[in-house]
Structure 1
């Protein structure tokens, strides 16, 4: 049985309609800061001797780098990124790169491959599905979909009088 004195999470209060009109307590505020782009060579190293894996990792590095540079400026404006968010954004970029890798594998070898016991599902299809599930979680966490952005509150104190801001 639920403790009657325990506060409901803010999201539950919003979903239930907040009939008492009590103010909803916000979460912890973290001051925004510049995020340093990870060294993608640490995640996708240059492999000696295996040209195929070297090409795959080089492409993954490029995809992750591009995604980082695409989303971080937007997230600074909409979510007020802080240094503690670096790992979440990095993991998001890794998911994007790995999905690209899986999709290329599926395109090159098909969804079904010939195995020892006959035709079987390409393992990349399962891996891609798992990465897509995780990617959906990161998209929700970071506010990268229209519905997720609707739940975000832009960071305060970002108004510097700039009239060119598209979020005004």
Structure 2
């Protein structure tokens, strides 16, 4: 049986090491499992025509992003099955940003509409997806600043695990 005073290391200890062999206290522990990649056709339907090609690219981008980040996050953060929805949404954001950027590249930032030149709607949508993506990046610890700000969990007693 595991010693209750010893706990799973924080991401900071995993990343930086613990040369002082200080006791590491655990926060909430989610049992790690192998995360299964979502079926992307559930999100990006396989439809005929131009939209089908757009959705096929979205499936490809989302799958590529999943395969890129999940192995890293399983190692560094010990992800569990409860994290699947967050990771799926993160990958969807990446795919939709790619879709919007391709739309903007194809049709331009400004489009001629009924009332003259107006902003391409994809510019607004991509901004919203980027805002959401930055939240996921922060939550999952995928940026350098997010990794630097990782702190050990609060403890019930007055001891400092880093002393």
TM-score for both structures, normalised by structure 1: 0.73
Task: List, as ranges, runs of 4+ consecutive aligned residues in structure 1 with deviation greater than 6 Å.
Answer: none
Q: Which residue of 2 aligns with 1:30?
A: 30
Q: Which residue of 1 aligns with 2:40?
A: 40
- Contact kept? 1:114, 1:120, Cα under 8 Å: yes
- Contact kept? 1:35, 1:82, Cα under 8 Å: yes
Deviations 1:33-84 (A, max 9, x none): 1101000010001113xx1101000000000000000000000111110000
Q: Distance in 1 between matches of 2:120 and 2:103?
A: 9
Structure 1 residues 45 and 79: CA distance shift in structure 2, 3 A:
same
Q: Which residue of 2 aligns with 1:62?
A: 60
Task: Give the drift of 1:152.
Answer: 4.1
Q: How does 1:75-90 map to 2 (within 5 A)?
A: 75-90=73-88
State the number of aligned residues.
128
- Contact kept? 1:78, 1:153, Cα under 8 Å: no
- Contact kept? 1:79, 1:152, Cα under 8 Å: no
Residue number among 123, 126, 129 corresponding to 2:127 in the alignment:
129
Match of 2:92, SS state, is: helix
RMSD (CA atoms): 1.6
Q: Which residue of 2 aligns with 1:7?
A: none
Q: Which residue of 1 aligns with 2:4?
A: none
Q: Distance in 1 between matches of 2:38 and 2:69?
A: 14
Q: Distance in 2 between matches of 1:26 and 1:130?
A: 35
Runs of 5+ unmatched residues, structure 2 = 1-24, 153-163
Q: Which residue of 2 aligns with 1:8?
A: none
TM-score for both structures, normalised by structure 2: 0.75
